[in-house]
A and B are shown apart, each in its own frame.
Chain A
Amino acid sequence: MDFSFTDDQLQFRDAVRTLLDDRCPPAAVRSAWTNETGRIEGLWARLADMGVLGLMAPEERGGLGMGEVDLVLLLEEAGRAAVPDPLLEHTAVAIPTLSDAGVCADVVDAAVSGAVTVTVGLADAGPYVLGAEQADHLLLERHASLHLVDAAAATITPVSSVDDSRRLGRVEFALDDAQLVSDDPRARSLAFDRGALGAAAQCVGVAQQLLDVTVAYVAERHQFGRPVGANQAVKHHLANVALAIEFARPMVYEAAWCIATGAEHRSREVSVAKAMASDAVDLACRRALQCHGAIGYTIEYDLQLWLKRGWALAAAWGDSRRHRRRVAAALQLA
């Protein structure tokens, strides 16, 4: 039993944090709200250079040949920085799914190098596909099989998200235009678990960021001649957020390990992780807003970037109720 990360894994996380502090500050996220693509200029290429995009691709495809335990910390950082690109879809789901199936090697190569973006749409993950219009390829589900479709061959209808940097699309495609990736239900189930895990990791990152900025704010903001954070009602709100994160986070790490090792209860553990992470980020959003007061309710103030990302991610890849239902089914409670 060793529930810890290696120094290498932690250093990789620190390097990604440094990159995101530099390339993905709130002003950059804000620009993705209004620009053409909903993405951050130059960030994708930098993530490719660092090996993040291809982290899970085999070495012979130019990847790092690593797994979910290595990736989970990086996705937490992506949540913390509110990275708007479809990083989890591309890195945590599309590349390993295509690599496992041993198909579309050219797409994997281009995805690892950052030359293309591959996004994902699975039936259980929600009705919309993130970044569909901006992506080059789409990994989509039809009749429990997985298919790869060129974005140009699909019909994409844009849908507005509460988070304008999340460019959603409703996607239709003809099977004739698609290449079969896998008709093995286990591949579909694994792809879903990978996506739900990635979303859970991002939820924890968003929640931690909301907690950190709110702690800093309430220590600074004064009313009645003292910091508002000296009031017990405020303290307890934030202690509750810290508690929710403290117990969701190990489940996210444990679920990552379960996927990486093909553990018996993998899907159940992923669902525990996503349910707890969704609940944690939802609480963090609401308490962060309350503890900020009206300034948090403005569009100018950056808090809203994380609030909206948090709410979107809490529901993406299955909301907490849906994942609890999966846990209940795994435990044969119903």
Chain B
Amino acid sequence: MDLTFSAGELAFRDEIRAWLASNLPTEAMASMDTPAGFEQHRAWERVLFDAGWSVPSWPRLFGGRECSLVEWLIFEEEYYASGAPGRVNTNGITLLGPTLFAFGTDEQHERFLPAMASGDEIWAQAWSEPDSGSDLASLSTTAVRDGDHFVVNGQKTWCSRGAWADWIFCIVRTDPGSERHAGLSYLLVPGDAAGLTRRPVGRLDGEPAFAELFFDDCRVHESNLLGGEGDGWSVAMATASSERGLNLRAPGRFLAAADRLAALQRRLAASGAADDELTDQVASAWMKAHAYRWQTYQVASRLQAGGTIGSEASFMKVFWSELDVELHATALRLLGGDGEVVDGPHGRDWMSGYLFALAGPIYAGTNEIQRNIIAERVLGLPRK
């Protein structure tokens, strides 16, 4: 055990910190969950990409710098500590990207990865359907083969930023007679495909960032099939483990939020407004952010030594999402009557952050489902 960072890791931290300090956007951007903000954030992705920071852990060939897992965690810590903008292509970079590396053909790598890294193509995830949420395997959107194309029909929903995204990764039923996990395929669909209609839907936080997608004889070329026809479920589960575990939500963003919470508490304490019980809650939330950091480094060490992460990713999903709610709820308690005010720079006020945090226990597999997974697959409790 050696919990210090190597000279190389420290140099990496210094490098990204210095780069961020001199390259952060000076003007506040609109929310990436609005059409205008979406494009502003796309421009920022380009700035990151040009400096080699948009996908630091990827191969150089596709715009990365081949940094280690630990360096990537350091990158995330520095990124969020600096107050840099949210990443509009997270679904592409952290969910589809690793899935493409694992299941894509060489042609697909060349076609999709560089444009993803540069932000030229921003991705949305379209898995959920009106009648298939937690029970994803019940999905009914069909894709029927017609020569070298698939013809897609059905409806997807809750697709984040799906009304403006350039590309969409879907799970569809390619074997019409199939049920449940069999007969599904993973399909990459251009946002402007003929036969695809997209409609933005307002979210709880007021932004039009959900989308409903209607597929009406939408033709998609077979070169956009990721993994084998009928193998969609196992490909999707690889994405899901990225979503729950390390990739989607590294500790950096929660450490930054915990530090902001501690700073808020210190301001109140300095003005004589601190309260013992709330101080205790701030310490508790800060400790959990810290514990998520060390648990993640422990998992990273295991992965770097050749280990794997399977159902244990559910521990991380439950923990980070409930931690995020706790951090924001504690801040709102500190703010009292000021808590409902949302006129800060967008997304930086605690109420907006709270509304976003509340989605965490719902998306990426609800926390009830994650607890089922922990009980059944990690602890081995009987399913029936």
Contact = CB atoms under 8 A, between A and B. Distances in A.
A69 B2 CA distance: 10
Contact-residue size bin, chain B (C-beta under 8 Å from the other chain): 35 or more
B4 A331 contact: no
Contacts of A334: 269, 274, 276, 279
Interface SS majority for chain A: helix
A327 B286 contact: yes
Contact of B266 (A6, A226, A257, A333): A333
A1 B288 CA distance: 20
A321 B277 CA distance: 10
A144 to B, nearest CB: 25
A215 B380 contact: yes
Interface in A2-41: 2-6
A227 to B, nearest CB: 5
Given A239-B379, A272-B290, A4 B282 contact: no
Interface string A183-210: 0000000000000000000000000000
Given A2-B2, A247-B291, A250-B294, A230 B382 contact: yes
A219 B379 CA distance: 10
Nearest to A275: B287
A114 to B, nearest CB: 28
A215 B1 contact: no
B161 to A, nearest CB: 31
A60 to B, nearest CB: 25
Report, as a range, how many residues of chain A touch the other chain: 35 or more
A333 B262 contact: yes
B214 interface: no
B6 interface: yes
A328 B266 CA distance: 10
A210 B1 CA distance: 28
A215 B377 CA distance: 12
A234 B297 CA distance: 30
A226 B382 contact: yes
Nearest to A246: B315
Contacts of B6: 1
B305 interface: yes
B283 interface: yes
A230 B371 CA distance: 13
29 contacts: A1-B2, A1-B5, A2-B301, A3-B294, A3-B300, A5-B1, A69-B1, A215-B379, A226-B384, A227-B381, A229-B382, A232-B372, A235-B376, A235-B381, A239-B318, A239-B379, A240-B371, A242-B378, A250-B294, A250-B295, A250-B298, A253-B1, A258-B3, A272-B290, A272-B291, A321-B280, A324-B284, A333-B262, A333-B266
